Amino acid sequence: MSTTPNATTTSPATLQDIADQLTASLEREVRIHEGAPRPADDRVDAGRPRSGSTPPFVVTVEGGGTALAHISVRMDGPRPLSPMDFEALDVASALVRDALSG
């Protein structure tokens, strides 16, 4: 009699999965891009200038001293970011680092 373990496998989170979860949690648009942020990232959203809007909050995700990605959070949301939101960003940066290092 052979038994097969009931193993649940989960696929690693993609950058889009992480961005979607953060968007829902923070109640504002979140984008994650590989590589270091470009200076234009503060002034452009999807190729269109965002005149008059608040620049995004950008978190650079590093691994081994190299910028692996950056998380861009729109700051003109329905409420100010709370300490728990910053903790969520900290966890998300670790998930992004794992996703890109794995």
Whether residue 2 is predicted with pLDDT greater than 50 in this model: the reply is: no
Cα-flanking dihedrals φ and ψ of residue 48, to 5°? -110, 135
Average pLDDT (72-91) is 94
Instruction: Indicate the burial class of 56 (C-beta count within 10 angstroms; 0-12, 13-18, 19 or more).
Output: buried
Q: What is the pLDDT of residue 68?
A: 95
pLDDT digits (tens, 9 = 90+) for 18-54: 999 999 999 999 999 999 887 654 444 544 445 667 8
Q: What is this structure's pTM?
A: 0.76
Residue ranges and CATH numbers for the domains of the chain are 15-101 (3.30.450.40)
User: Mean of the per-residue pLDDT values for the chain?
Assistant: 82
